[in-house]
Amino acid sequence: MEHIVIIGNGIAGVTTARHIRKLSNKKITLISAESEYFFSRTALMYVYMGHMKFEHTQPYENWFWKKNNIDLVHGYVDQVNPEEKVVTLSDSTSISYDKLVIATGSKPNKFGWPGQDLDGVQGLYSKQDLELLEQNAPNNKVCKRAVIVGGGLIGIELAEMLRTRNIPVTFLVRESSFWNGILPSGESQMINEHIMEHHIDLRLNASLQEIKPDENGRVKSVVIAETGEEIVCNLVGLTAGVTPNIDFLKDSDIELGRGVKVNRFLETNVKDIYAIGDCAEQHEAIGNRRPIEAVWYTGRMMGETLAQTLCGNPTEYRPGHWFNSAKFLDIEYQTYGWVFPEKTKMDNEMHFHWRHPHKKLCITIAFDQSTQIFLGINTFGIRMRHEIFDRWLTEKRSIDHVMAHMADANFDPEFYRTFESEIVSKFNVQFGKNIQTQKKSLKRIFHIA
């Protein structure tokens, strides 16, 4: 029986294992140093905030793995030996494989800042990071102030977490506005306001110069490069992005770039070794995607795809329309298709932006100026239906069609106020059109002829 060994029990590795099990009787071994059982990484923040206990983050009950005949090994892989087809764990046990899947995820970026390895300086990625945070910042007596470096999704989550324990937070964002490498300016501005509304000391155009230690080798303060200001703190959260967690492969023959280099079949340069999830790097980016996609959904999709290949149905990784989501404190964010910020968008990409006069709600819709084809939407505080936007993207619908049928895409809970008419009338004024909004149609939504 073929033995498939998967290193990493995150969403990518676990999805692969589950799908292989659905398709075959192959022997499957999942190795993880991080946790005994699969948990949802994205939910770690809720454990610190007291919304959930750690066991609630585990999507499957503990008996699930045995019942589905998936062997779990709790250990750290030191070495991969492709010639003998063996992986060696740090306790020197070795496990031989027929096919090897590398799904080891990411680790927080450290850019060589002075003091980045001091006590009290940490990232937020793994279960161990969360445990460390409980030690470094259990309450506002131990941690009188925290400084977060890096204005991305993890940074704002860490800020939210610390605020639930009333820990004062200074949030250093290198850019001139929060996450404006991804978000158009109107949205980024709204999030800036929301961050400050939560009493987070947001510093834009501020990057880290150095972290200063006290006499015990713990963090004492940080210095901001642009202003030279020194901020006294007990915790520094490094949240300036992540990088593939592949150091243990350095001496293997597997080709590495920033991540593990893979082709469209998710194969590495070594036969029978594959890489998926955050740690995989495409030789060439797919469409507008980045070569390394450190996103929950893409990890899962690669897992779904690779399981097919491993079970005799060679399948390329060809993800569909881009989508993603996040939550910025109280504001939910969803995106379907592509909306680029002003800096990086193409000349033909037109934006229509609408923001509610006083609530924290806004959307930005991108469309092609010449063809009028809908390209994508960012939505904040208004939930949208994935299926509808996916369909519109596939059908290459025009911006006018999208505007007229916005009600079909709304996914807010029942009885919520809707804003389609405000949105469309602003669009009509701005672009000199006369689009009439159509009523929500269950027939269209559920695709009934």
Partner 1 sequence: MNTIDKSMALTGQPPQNLTLGQKLATLLGISGLGILLLAVFNVSFPNKGLWLSISLAAIILGTLWFSWEAYANKIPGIKNDGVWFKSISSRGLWGWVAGLALTGFYIVLYFYPEYLGLTGDGDNKGVIALFDPLSKLLSGNAASQWFVYGTLYTVAILAFGIKFLWKYRHNRYERLRTMSVMFFQMAFAFLIPELMARLNGHKILNGGSLPYYDLKNIWPLNYYNFEGYRIKAFLSSGNIGFALLVFGIVSIFVITPILTYKYGKRWYCSWVCGCGGLAETAGDSFRQLSDKSLKAWKIERWVVHSVVVFVTLMTTAVIYSYLGNDTSKYWLTKSTFLIGVGILLTLIFGWIMLFKRKQLQKDAQYGAIGYFVIIMALIGFHFFSGEGYVFLFKSETLRKTYSFLIGSIFSGVIGTGFYPIFGSRVWCRFGCPMAAIMGVQQKLFSRFRITTNGGQCISCGNCSTYCEMGIDVRSYAQKGENIVRASCVGCGICSAVCPRGVLKLENGPLEGRIDSNQVLLGNDVDLMSLVNQK
Binding to partner 1 (CB under 8 A) within 137-166 occurs at 138-141, 164-166
Which residues, numbered 99-128, are part of the site for partner 1 (CB under 8 A)? 127
| Structural contact between residues 188 and 180, judged by C-beta atoms closer than 8 angstroms | yes
Q: Judged by CB under 8 A, does residue 36 bind partner 1?
A: no
Burial class (CB in 10 A: 0-12, 13-18, 19+), 374: buried
Q: Which two tokens stand for residue 139?
A: 């309450």
Shortest distance, position 239 Cβ to partner 1, whole Å = 18
Among 29, 58, 189, 398, binds partner 1 (CB under 8 A): 58
Q: Judged by CB under 8 A, does residue 46 bind partner 1?
A: yes
d(CA 204, CA 169): 14
Q: Judged by CB under 8 A, does residue 384 bind partner 1?
A: yes
Among 215, 358, 415, 436, binds partner 1 (CB under 8 A): 415
Among 78, 84, 134, 342, binds partner 1 (CB under 8 A): 134
Which sign, positive or negative, has the C-alpha torsion 291, 294, 298, 300?
positive
- Please say which residue, 149 or 375, places its beta carbon nearer to partner 1: 375
Q: Which stretch binds partner 1 (CB under 8 A): 52-60, 117-125, 174-182, 430-438?
A: 52-60
SS3 of 208, please?
strand
Among 394, 425, 430, 441, binds partner 1 (CB under 8 A): 394
Pair type for strands 106-108 and 242-244: antiparallel
Which residues, numbered 192-211, are part of the site for partner 1 (CB under 8 A)? 197-198
Q: Which two tokens stand for residue 153?
A: 């999704």
SS3 of 160, please?
helix
Which residues, numbered 340-379, are part of the site for partner 1 (CB under 8 A)? none
Give the count of residues interacting with partner 1 (CB under 8 A).
Answer: 74
Nearest CA to 435 out of 352, 378, 359 is that of 352
Which residues, numbered 262-321, are part of the site for partner 1 (CB under 8 A)? 296-297, 300-301, 304-305, 308, 315-321
Q: Judged by CB under 8 A, does residue 390 bind partner 1?
A: yes
d(CA 381, CA 391): 22
- Please say which residue, 241 or 319, places its beta carbon nearer to partner 1: 319
- Neighbouring CB atoms inside 10 A of 128's CB total 12
Among 24, 40, 79, 438, binds partner 1 (CB under 8 A): 40
d(CA 115, CA 246): 23
Which residues, numbered 320-339, are part of the site for partner 1 (CB under 8 A)? 320-321, 323, 325-327, 329-330, 332, 334
d(CA 107, CA 374): 36
Among 247, 258, 344, 416, binds partner 1 (CB under 8 A): 416
Q: Judged by CB under 8 A, does residue 411 bind partner 1?
A: yes
Nearest CA to 317 out of 289, 347, 343 is that of 289
- Please say which residue, 140 or 263, places its beta carbon nearer to partner 1: 140
- Please say which residue, 429 or 442, places its beta carbon nearer to partner 1: 442
| DSSP for 392-415, written as a single string | HHHTT-BHHHHHHTHHHHB-SPTT
